[in-house]
Amino acid sequence: MDLIKPDDARFDEARTVFNSMIDKRPAIIAQCATPTDVREALQLAASPRYDVAVRAGGHSVAGVCLNDGGLVIDVRPMKDIQVDADARQVRVGAGVTWGEFDRATQEHGLATTGGRVSTTGVAGLTLGGGSGWAERAWGLSCDNLVSVDLVTADGREVTASEDENADLFWALHGGGGNFGVATSFVFELHDLGPLVTAGLMLWPGDAAADVARQYRDFAADAPDELGTALVFLTGPPEEFVPAHLQGTTVLGIAGLWVGDVDEGAEAMRPFKDLAPEVDLVGPMPYADFQCMIDDPPGMRNYWSADYHDSFPDDALDVFVKYGFSKQSPLSQQLLIPWGGAVARVGEDATPMTKRATTWITHPFAVWEGAAADAENIEWAKSFRRDIAHYATGGVYLNFIGDEGEDRVRAAYGEAKYTRLAGIKGEWDPTNVFRGNQNIKPA
C-alpha cells in the first residue's frame, strides 16, 4: 500500500478526477494493489476515524470518489486482466478502465457491455448498473456479472455470486459502492469484433427537428443489436467536419451494430437515407469505437437524466429546444433508447427499477471556468423542469450528480430500496461506505 498525503509531491495528481469542479483534499490517499492493502487501509481509517471514499476511474460527476479530510482507497493499481477465451469469461481488477478491458478482450474477438467513454472505470460503471452501446443486445454491464470479490467494512474478503452471498450479489447489480470495496470482477463475454459497423453521423441544425423525429420513430423498435444515441453537440474543428458546420450546433446519431459487419451496414441504412453531411459509420475496430466520444479531462461537468416510457412530439420539441440553447460549445444533449435485453431482465432481478423504460434523456453540461457555473447548471436543471411532464420519475444514477436522497430512492423504488437498506445493514451497519449515492443501513 502506498500512502499519499498532502505534503507529497504526487498529491495533487492523485486527487485529480474527471470533473474539475471537484476540488477535495483528503488527509490520506491509500493506493491499493491487493485486497490486503484495502483491508489495511480500512484499519487505518478506523483509528482515528476517517471518512472513507473509494476511487477507481474517477468519473463520478458528483465527486463521491474523493472527500475532504478523510481517507481515499484508490484501487487504480489493481490492473490485472485474465481472459479465459474458452470459458468466454474475463477476470479484471477493480482499477481497470473500459478502454483497457476492451483492448484485452478484443484480442480474442470477445466483449461485454462497457462504458461509452473508455477512461471510465469498470468498477464504478458496473456497480451502478452499466449502460453502454451493447446494452440492448447483452443487457447492462451488471447483467453480465459472474462474481465480484470485495473487502467488507469489517475487513473480510468475500465473493458474491449467484451461489455465494446471493443477496449481496443482487445488491451489486446497481446498488453502487455501498457494500464494500470491490477488488475484482468476473464477466461473461460475447463474440464481437474486432471489426464492427459503428460510427457517427452529423446533420446541420436546420435539419435537426425532422431527423430527430425520424430517429425516434425508428430507434425505439430497432433490432436489439442496434445500439444508438441521438445527440446535440457543437461541430468540432476537425478535418472530417465541413467548415460551415464547425462551431455550429449540429445533430448527431452515434451507433453500434452488435453483430456481423455487413448486416450492420444494412441496419444503419435508415439513418444514412436521411442524408447526413458527415457519415463516419462503417467498419472499424470495436475498441476504437469505444473511444470515439471520449471527452478531455479538466472540464467542469454537471449531468442529469430522466426515464421516459414514451417520447411524443411535444417532448421531442423540448429536447430539440434545449439542444439549441446549451450554454457551452462543450455541452451535449442526449436521447438514448433502452429496451431489448435491458427490458427483458425481470423487474425484481436487480435493484434498478423501471428497466422497461423506453427512453433516457441526458443533459450533459460541460464547460470551462467557474464563472460560467450558474448558467450551465441552470441549463440542465431547466431542461429537467420542462421535460418533467413526460418523465416517469425513474433515473439511472450513473448519469447524475448528487441530487439528493429522493433521486436515489427513485432509482430503486421504495420496496427495493428497503431491501437494499437491509443488505446494507448486514454488510455495512455503520455506513462506512457512504461516499457514494448512499443507501442508509436499516
Alpha-carbon dihedral angle through residues 281, 286, 289, 295, given to the nearest 10 degrees: 170
Joined grid coordinates for residue 47 = 483509528
SS3 109: coil
* Cα–Cα distance measured from residue 57 to residue 21, given in angstroms and rounded to the nearest whole number: 16
* Cα–Cα distance measured from residue 124 to residue 60, given in angstroms and rounded to the nearest whole number: 8
Helix (H) or strand (E) holding 238: none
- State residue 296's pLDDT score: 80
Instruction: Please check whether the two domains, 2-74 and 195-399, share a CATH topology.
Output: no
- State residue 8's pLDDT score: 97
Joined grid coordinates for residue 294 = 471520449
What would the pLDDT profile of 318-359 be if each residue is shown by its tens digit?
A: 999 999 999 999 999 999 999 999 999 999 999 999 999 999
Query: Which one-letter DSSP state was computed for residue 93?
Result: E
- State residue 297's pLDDT score: 83
Q: What pTM was computed for the model?
A: 0.96
On the question of a cis peptide bond just before residue 194, with omega within 30 degrees of 0, the verdict is yes
Give me the CATH code for the 2-74 domain, please.
3.30.43.10
Computed over its alpha carbons, how large is the radius of gyration of the chain?
21
Helix (H) or strand (E) holding 412: helix 405-412
Cα separations in angstroms, 137 against 14, 162, 167, 219, 361: 37, 22, 26, 14, 20
* Cα–Cα distance measured from residue 224 to residue 289, given in angstroms and rounded to the nearest whole number: 18
Residue 48 has pLDDT above 90, yes or no: no
On the question of a cis peptide bond just before residue 48, with omega within 30 degrees of 0, the verdict is yes
| AA letter at 433 | F
Give me the CATH code for the 195-399 domain, please.
3.40.462.20
In the chain, domain spans = 2-74, 81-192, 195-399
Average pLDDT of span 249-267: 97
Joined grid coordinates for residue 185 = 470482477
Checking 375-382 for CB contacts under 8 A at 24+ apart, the result is 375/327, 376/300, 376/302, 376/327, 376/328, 376/331, 377/302, 379/322, 379/325, 379/326, 379/327, 379/331, 380/302, 380/303, 380/304, 381/304, 382/322
Q: Please, what is the average pLDDT of the chain?
A: 97
> Class of 81-192 per CATH?
alpha beta
Residues facing 82 on adjacent strands = 91
What would the pLDDT profile of 285-314 be if each residue is shown by its tens digit?
A: 999 999 988 888 899 999 999 999 999 999
CA angle 360, 362, 365 (to 5 degrees): 180
Query: Which one-letter DSSP state was computed for residue 135?
Result: H
Q: Could you count the other beta carbons within 10 Å of the beta carbon of residue 390?
A: 19
- Rounded to the nearest 10 degrees, the angle between the axes of helix 414-427 and helix 405-412 is 100
Average pLDDT of span 383-403: 96
What would the pLDDT profile of 233-242 be if each residue is shown by its tens digit?
A: 999 999 999 9
Residue 47 has pLDDT above 90, yes or no: no
